[in-house]
Amino acid sequence: MNNRFDALIIGAGASGMMCAIAAKKKNPHLRVAIIEKNDRVGKKLLATGNGRCNLTNQHIDAVKYAGSFRNQARSFFSQYDCAFLRGYFETLGLLTYADDAGRVYPISRQASSVLDVIRFGCERLGVEIFCNETICSLKKRGVGFVVKTKEREFYSDKLVIACGSKAAPKLGGSAAGADFLKNFGHSVIPFSPALCPLSVKSDILKSLKGLRANGRVSLLRGTQTVKTEDGEIQFADGALSGICVFNLSLYAKQGDVILVDLLNNNSEKKLYNILIKNKKLFSQLTMDNLLTGILQKRLAQAVMKAGGLQDFSRLCDDLTDMELKKIAKQLKNMRFEIGGKAGFEQAQCAMGGVAGKEIDEKTMQSKKVRNLFVCGEAIDICGECGGFNLHFAFVSGLIAGEHL
Ligand SMILES: Cc1cc2nc3c(=O)[nH]c(=O)nc-3n(C[C@H](O)[C@H](O)[C@H](O)COP(=O)(O)OP(=O)(O)OC[C@H]3O[C@@H](n4cnc5c(N)ncnc54)[C@H](O)[C@@H]3O)c2cc1C
């Protein structure tokens, strides 16, 4: 086999495959190959959006992202927006729909449809794909690159790092891309898990394991509110989870506090008045019935415990005004100190990767090494849940492909 290529892409994930398609669409004469360590392409893509693949979002905006590449991404999001990406997928045969929150999915509601149109696109355009190839070394030679795997040696004029991040190692996540880029002299911010549960220090959490409730979560650092999100909060053993918590995890640090407001549509004063009414309504019932009709019993008990009330054999009628005020306060201010983040196994994405300033956002080419390109999660940028990460992966791959 002739192992000389015009462009070699390392990683057959969202960004790498889109890069290959864009390159061949623009320059059909180019010889383009993808090298993938897994036994098949797009494993992670199949797991996205709970198997439905939330591929982009109608509200693409740099404010939805964190990381050093964020401001540069701003410049291409106006051109490569949601409508553009949906249109591009349509040219590959994929029809999509948007839900009420602007999240875009394939109309088949199956991630496999997204992967299939990409796979078929690669096949149709003549992209060569090598799976089960582990890279042993990756070096610059002249104006091009030599890539050695256990099986063979490749030579290419241009090289694209599309290896993703360390998130979800079972689906192919690894630090390889960042390591390759470091060897090429790039500055790399170490990967840390993102879009993941946050472990919290709390005695009451054990009793809430498995419970879900809607509310508002705020990330507090000292007196500053870093970020606020509404949605379903999932209480796990020693951790808080759910999409709203995942979004806080992008910014969270050990020692920060998550403030949970279980009744964000009601003011503390209004809740206090409701509790006065409930005290009368349920006067002869034990006090853990005070929040009947408002919260699940386990959650009601946890709120009361957090407010310093322990003896649930007391009657509602016995509750003092001060105690009612404390309960009203707790309903809107349950505090959980963050002990850390869940590991990469539970993370959908990772913060970190190559420093944004070292990549040219117009081409996705390295500013340090000529003919070296980077796309997807190997770059230091991470978006919130909702299709923002796949959007970045697809679009950055596409830009790289168009400039190969
Ligand atoms: C469970 C889950 C659900 C998600 N759901 C969504 C969602 O609905 N919407 C959304 O926007 N985002 C979602 N994401 C995030 C999204 O999948 C990623 O941001 C996106 O896939 C990143 O694309 P990428 O091309 O950079 O990396 P990847 O898609 O991870 O692809 C990288 C590829 O490189 C390969 N590779 C790694 N190292 C090497 C090496 N040394 N040699 C050869 N190949 C290598 C990997 O095997 C992999 O195939 C989800 C993530 C997870 C884990």
For the domain that residue 162 is a member of, what is the CATH number? Answer: 3.50.50.60
The answer to whether residues 398 and 336 belong to one domain is no
In angstroms, how far is CA 152 from the centroid of its own chain?
Answer: 35
- 376: Cβ below 6 Å to ligand 1? yes
The answer to whether residues 323 and 189 belong to one domain is no
Residue nearest to atom 20 of ligand 1 (CA): 390
What tens digit of pLDDT does each residue of 84-103 get?
Answer: 999 999 999 999 999 999 99
- 35: Cβ below 6 Å to ligand 1? yes
Choose the final residue of a domain: 342, 360, 380.
342
- Amino acid sitting at position 43: K
The answer to whether residues 391 and 328 belong to one domain is no
What tens digit of pLDDT does each residue of 371-393 get?
Answer: 999 999 999 999 999 999 999 99
**Residue-number span of the structural domain to which 240 is assigned:** 197-342
What tens digit of pLDDT does each residue of 267-301 get?
Answer: 999 999 999 999 999 999 999 999 999 999 999 99
User: If you count them, how many residues does the chain have?
Assistant: 404
- 346: Cβ below 6 Å to ligand 1? no
Tokens in use for 286?
Answer: 């034990």
Cross-strand bridge partners of residue 236: 239
What tens digit of pLDDT does each residue of 155-177 get?
Answer: 999 999 999 999 999 999 999 99
Are 147 and 153 a contacting pair, CB within 8 Å?
A: yes
Q: Residue 310's pLDDT band (boundaries 50, 70, 90)?
A: confident
Proportion of the chain above pLDDT 90, given as a percent? 93
Proportion of the chain above pLDDT 70, given as a percent? 100
For the chain, the distance separating the N- and C-terminal CA atoms, rounded to the nearest angstrom, is: 23
Choose the final residue of a domain: 342, 363, 381.
342
Scanning the structure block, which residue is given the tokens 């993703």? 164
Count of Cβ atoms closer than 10 Å to residue 66 Cβ: 18
Q: Say if residue 321's pLDDT is above 90.
A: yes
Q: Residue 2's pLDDT band (boundaries 50, 70, 90)?
A: confident
Q: What is the pLDDT of residue 10?
A: 97
Q: What is the pLDDT of residue 324?
A: 96
Q: Residue 151's pLDDT band (boundaries 50, 70, 90)?
A: confident
Q: What is the pLDDT of residue 383?
A: 97
Whole-angstrom CA distances from 401 to 37, 60, 305, 339, 372 are: 21, 21, 57, 41, 12
Q: What is the pLDDT of residue 392?
A: 98
Torsion, CA 354, CA 395, CA 403, CA 2, rounded to 10: 80
Cross-strand bridge partners of residue 135: 149
Q: Say if residue 191's pLDDT is above 90.
A: yes
Q: Say if residue 202's pLDDT is above 90.
A: no
Choose the final residue of a domain: 342, 357, 381.
342
Q: Residue 201's pLDDT band (boundaries 50, 70, 90)?
A: confident
The answer to whether residues 135 and 182 belong to one domain is yes
CA of 359 to the centre of ligand 1 (A): 20
Mean pLDDT of 193-212: 91
- 38: Cβ below 6 Å to ligand 1? yes
Cα–Cα distance, 19 to 401 (Å, whole number): 4
CA of 182 to the centre of ligand 1 (A): 20
Q: Say if residue 249's pLDDT is above 90.
A: yes
The answer to whether residues 257 and 321 belong to one domain is yes
The answer to whether residues 22 and 125 belong to one domain is yes
Scanning the structure block, which residue is given the tokens 């992209």? 127
Secondary structure (DSSP) of 270-293: HHHHHHHHHHHHTTTSBGGGTTTT
**Measuring CA to CA, which residue among 230, 227, 235, 231 is closest to residue 251?**
227
Q: What is the pLDDT of residue 228?
A: 97
User: Is the entire prediction scored with pTM above 0.75?
Assistant: yes
The overall average pLDDT reported for the chain is: 96
Q: Say if residue 302's pLDDT is above 80.
A: yes
Instruction: Indicate the pairing of strand 135-141 with strand 144-149.
Output: antiparallel
User: Is 197 or 207 the better-scoring residue by pLDDT?
Assistant: 197
User: Is 274 or 308 the better-scoring residue by pLDDT?
Assistant: 274
The answer to whether residues 220 and 263 belong to one domain is yes
Cα–Cα distance, 244 to 262 (Å, whole number): 13
The answer to whether residues 298 and 263 belong to one domain is yes
Q: What is the pLDDT of residue 243?
A: 96
Q: Say if residue 1's pLDDT is above 80.
A: no
**Measuring CA to CA, which residue among 284, 275, 285 is closest to residue 331?**
275
The answer to whether residues 371 and 338 belong to one domain is no
Counting the structural domains of the chain, the total is 2
Nearest atom in ligand 1 to the alpha carbon of residue 14 is 25
Mean pLDDT of 2-26: 97
Are 132 and 126 a contacting pair, CB within 8 Å?
A: no
Whole-angstrom CA distances from 394 to 6, 79, 258, 374, 388 are: 21, 13, 33, 12, 10
Secondary structure (DSSP) of 98-112: E-TTSEEEETT--HH
The answer to whether residues 26 and 79 belong to one domain is yes
Mean pLDDT of 326-333: 96
- Amino acid sitting at position 82: C
The answer to whether residues 101 and 164 belong to one domain is yes
Cα–Cα distance, 128 to 156 (Å, whole number): 13
Q: What is the pLDDT of residue 207?
A: 85
Q: What is the pLDDT of residue 211?
A: 95
**Measuring CA to CA, which residue among 299, 104, 119 is closest to residue 213?**
299
Tokens in use for 325?
Answer: 């005020």
Q: What is the pLDDT of residue 371?
A: 97
Nearest atom in ligand 1 to the alpha carbon of residue 389 is 11
Cα–Cα distance, 220 to 202 (Å, whole number): 16
Cα–Cα distance, 48 to 93 (Å, whole number): 19
CA of 115 to the centre of ligand 1 (A): 12
Cross-strand bridge partners of residue 105: 97
CA of 14 to the centre of ligand 1 (A): 6
What tens digit of pLDDT does each residue of 222-246 get?
Answer: 999 999 999 999 999 889 999 999 9
Mean pLDDT of 7-20: 98
- Amino acid sitting at position 20: A
Mean pLDDT of 331-358: 96
The answer to whether residues 86 and 52 belong to one domain is yes
- 94: Cβ below 6 Å to ligand 1? no
**Measuring CA to CA, which residue among 105, 121, 89, 120 is closest to residue 51?**
105
Residue nearest to atom 41 of ligand 1 (CA): 176
Whole-angstrom CA distances from 170 to 43, 197, 361 are: 9, 18, 30
For 92, how many CA atoms within 13 A lie in the half-sphere containing its CB? 27
